[in-house]
Chain A
Amino acid sequence: MHDTRRTRLVLGVLIVVALLLITIDYRDGGSPVIRGLRAVGTSVFGGAETAANSASTLVGQGQDSTSQQVRSLQQEVLRLRAELSRAQLSQAQYAQLQRLLSVAGKGGYRVVAATVIATGQGFQQTVTLDAGSRDGVRPRETVLNGQGLVGEVTAVGRDTCTVMLATDSSEQVGIQLAPGGQLGWVTGPGKTSSGSGELKLQVLDTHVTLTPGQQLVTSASVHDRPYVPGVPVGTVSRVVNRAGALTSRALVRPYVNFAALGVVGIVIEPPKHSPRFSVLPPRPHATPTPTVTVTVTPGARPSPGSTPSGTSPASPATGG
């Protein structure tokens, strides 16, 4: 059983099979062989992942929101709970679902809520959700959560679907800049050491002046696939213009924390009208800083131990 002809034959056969699969998939990703294999893998491992995930609780982040609108949506939350077929949602998931529903309500998206049950291996920036074709999910649909754009559905099984995240370096999302509506696109950074890297933005209009803090939403794709309009993407964090470039470039910090994805929503029905920039979170304004000017009245007798009498009324002035 050491190194005989038979053992080498086994190794050779396995390697040839693997190379064959690689070749088939490399040349034609949609070949029936690969699709069949993937369907088998999805049905086999998707169930296992769902089962494994139902036992564990996901670590997510959530904040208590006291928004009135959110309170009014609690009935729908209960209904969606049943859709999620979970006996109990964790506190974090509950908060995420609330935010998701508020975003979906603002934008007019009809969403199917789902949770992340598996994460891609290696350099793939993909996740698996526990909603599939039985829930009405189809390929090339937008995935968002309460913070913004998450990604795009790429493959759908019966009970699971695979989402390619917006941070994948092969993913390109068409965007609109918030005030002016200039068009551009963002590309994912791929897998980075920080887990959630910055997207690369290119704007077609070279005359636009990109400033840090500018907000981005998705622009509508053709037939709203894969991206529905109006989903918040992120804010410009750094401008990296190069002289002579055809496009204006910048780095975009995404709204979504891709390191802590929990409850997400799949947009199964696009809005009837483009929500434009209404879904965006309020842009942080510069807050006025009060300053106090003290003038000394000439001729006033200085009286030690007492407060200066000639104090002018405080005049507010905007600073910063």
Chain B
Amino acid sequence: MRKIVLSVVAVAVALVVQLTYLNGLHLPGGGVADLVLVMTAALGLAGGPVPGAVTGFVAGLGLDLAPPGSGIVGIYALVLCIVGWTCGRFRGTVARSALVPMLIAAGAGAAGEILIAGLGMALQPAQVSWASVRQVLPSAIMYDVVISPFVLYLILLTRAWLAGARAPSAALAAPGGSALQSRQGLAGGGSRQGLAAAGGAAGGAVLPGLGGWLAGPAQSRRARRDAARRTPRLGPGAGRAGDGWIGSSAAARSLAGRPLSGHALASLVARPHGTGAARLRSGVAGSAAGGQLPRTLPARPVHLRLTGGSRREGKSAGGRTRLRGGARGLGALGRGALGDGRGARRALDRLGRRGGRGSFRPVVLTGGAVRRPAGGQPVPAAPRFKIHSGGALGGSTGRGTTGLSAAGGIGQPTLRSLRHGLGQPRRLRMNGRRGDGMLGRPLTGSRLGAGRAAFSPAGPGAGIGPAGRSGPSSRGWAARSRAPRGGLAPVRPGKGRPATPRFRSRPLVAGRPQSGKRPRFSHSRWAVLTLLARRRGAVPRSWRRNGRRSAAGR
């Protein structure tokens, strides 16, 4: 809602400023900057294709109809709609780079000017002559290019500010979430690779469209620090082509069929020369082994232990939030985190007892399991989510916000945010869209009884698979129907139909994900504001391997 208000206000201000002030300027070259066009490009880059297209259409219609307008109605609406859409398609670049969105905005400004001039020449030859276009167009493009970075920066900053003012959970969307995360020291220490696999892969993805380097700090320095504390290590990620999953690398394939011990699996992922470099800001949360396309599902359930350590959450001792356990402890965590539940649990307990420095609340997500009937196709089991609360770490009365995102297997739903405190009613929010399922019935606030939940879709026939694509192999998702109490209850978004949980995932045919975008590992690209980032202590890290990119961290 706030984003809509922001778009409306931005467009209205741009329109009035453009018509009353900018167009009256007589700058060298004859052209003036088209603020509305650049604003549309920035809003598209920040908001996505559909908001961009709608914003552009409305803004263009405003330009067509506002009083001095004498051109043919619809030209600006058409051009700005296309510009907004196209920029929206590049929304993902905002979180990854500073330079690329600037270039896209500048290019959009130039292309929009050319399109407008071309349409004017075609449709209004009496008003728009080639001589005028030739004289005015270069300077107009130049002014657009000049103002586009500032407008883009302003829009991103405002959006980040709005998101930051909305809720503490917006720390998820805090600028440079990955950088904050790396600052928290999770990825520090000797076993950086392994932990980066666990934390970086899962938490590296920044919520697209909200942050990025351009957006800068959300609020004050203090607010940024708070946000950093609250920023979970795991963020929701968007699937990209080529992403890998844990246990799905080539090495893991070779071991398929054998039950992998946690250590073996972790070492597969963590080994620098093993399966592929794990990088920050990789796509799908929980995807750790990069470079390889997933061929198989994990041979057994993968337990992801996600640390949601923030100050206000359960804590055993009043220590620092940051993990400073050192290489050994982190290594243990790293291995445990990717291994089976028990080992990780032990590792966490070890770490937790050691002076109470790290405050972990282990959360075990069990999911993506594939059962292999003898001689049959692998059948994906219903994902189960377990929230482990106990040990020395339980008993907090605080309430915090943690975003969780885990994908233990292909097509597993992503937990978007987990809003709970220990001993409090817990809410597990699925990747939120209208009609999605929720864990623990957040609307009514029922508790997750024993910290154990299973999916219970609305009906036995309701598939949790991808909407409209229910293959034979997606049967396994719609497995367990259970009483709503303590389980995954369907949420009614509106008054009408009972909601069916939808999980956007890919259909599995013969154990492989079909079609759709494949996740891909990407890394933080060169950022123009690296110097600024360095001063903030948020240097993007990248790993070089085999002479190309290796560990470049400090």
Contact = CB atoms under 8 A, between A and B. Distances in A.
A126 interface: yes
B63 A49 contact: no
A34 to B, nearest CB: 5
Interface in B177-195: none
A28 to B, nearest CB: 11
Interface residues of B, number: 61
Interface stretch (B10-18, B349-357, B364-372): B10-18
A193 B132 CA distance: 8
B123 interface: yes
A21 B19 contact: no
B20 interface: yes
A279 to B, nearest CB: 27
Interface string B67-96: 111111111111001100100010000000
Nearest to A190: B132
B68 A192 contact: no
Interface stretch (B47-55, B308-316, B507-515): B47-55
A118 B17 CA distance: 9
Interface string A102-140: 000000000000001111111111111000000000000
B100 interface: no
B73 A52 contact: no
Interface stretch (A12-20, A206-214, A307-315): A12-20
Contacts of A157: 67
Interface string A80-105: 00000000000000000000000000
Size category of the binding interface on chain A: 35 or more
A49 B133 CA distance: 27
B150 to A, nearest CB: 20
B23 interface: yes
B78 A126 contact: no
Contacts, number: 204
A119 B133 CA distance: 18
B26 interface: yes
A10 B67 contact: no
Given A11-B85, A15-B81, A15-B82, A126 B65 contact: no
A17 B57 contact: yes
A70 B126 CA distance: 40
B18 A121 contact: yes
Given A192-B30, A194-B30, A259-B26, A118 B19 contact: yes
Contacts of B19: 45, 49, 118-121, 128
Given A7-B50, A15-B81, A19-B74, A41 B65 contact: yes
A56 interface: yes
Nearest to B49: A7
A241 interface: no
A46 B136 contact: no
Contacts of B26: 195, 259-260
Contacts of B15: 45, 48
A312 to B, nearest CB: 55
Q: Helix, strand, loop or mixed for chain B's interface?
A: helix
Interface in B256-308: none
B74 A11 contact: no
Contacts of B85: 11
B348 to A, nearest CB: 35
B327 interface: no
A245 interface: no
Interface stretch (A162-170, A176-184, A264-272, A295-303): A162-170
Contacts of B53: 10-11, 14
A238 interface: no
A18 B238 CA distance: 32
Contacts of B50: 1, 6-7, 10-11
A2 B117 CA distance: 30
Contact of B78 (A15, A46, A128, A192): A15
Contacts of A247: none
A194 B129 CA distance: 16
A120 B127 CA distance: 12
Given A1-B48, A17-B77, A120 B69 contact: yes
Given A1-B50, A121-B34, A123-B71, 11 more contacts: A11-B50, A18-B81, A21-B61, A25-B73, A26-B72, A38-B73, A119-B23, A124-B71, A126-B70, A190-B131, A193-B29
Interface of A: 1-3, 6-7, 10-11, 14-15, 17-26, 34, 37-38, 40-42, 44-46, 48-49, 52-53, 56, 116-128, 154-155, 157, 160, 162, 164, 168-170, 189-195, 259-260
19 contacts: A11-B81, A11-B85, A18-B57, A18-B60, A19-B78, A21-B61, A21-B74, A22-B75, A44-B66, A45-B19, A49-B67, A119-B68, A121-B19, A122-B120, A122-B128, A123-B127, A162-B69, A169-B132, A193-B30
Interface of B: 12, 15-21, 23-24, 26, 29-31, 34, 48-50, 53-54, 57, 60-78, 81-82, 85, 89, 116-117, 120, 123-124, 126-129, 131-133, 135-136, 139, 238, 517
The 10 closest A-B pairs by CB, nearest first: A41-B65, A21-B74, A119-B23, A193-B30, A18-B78, A22-B74, A45-B66, A170-B126, A120-B68, A193-B135
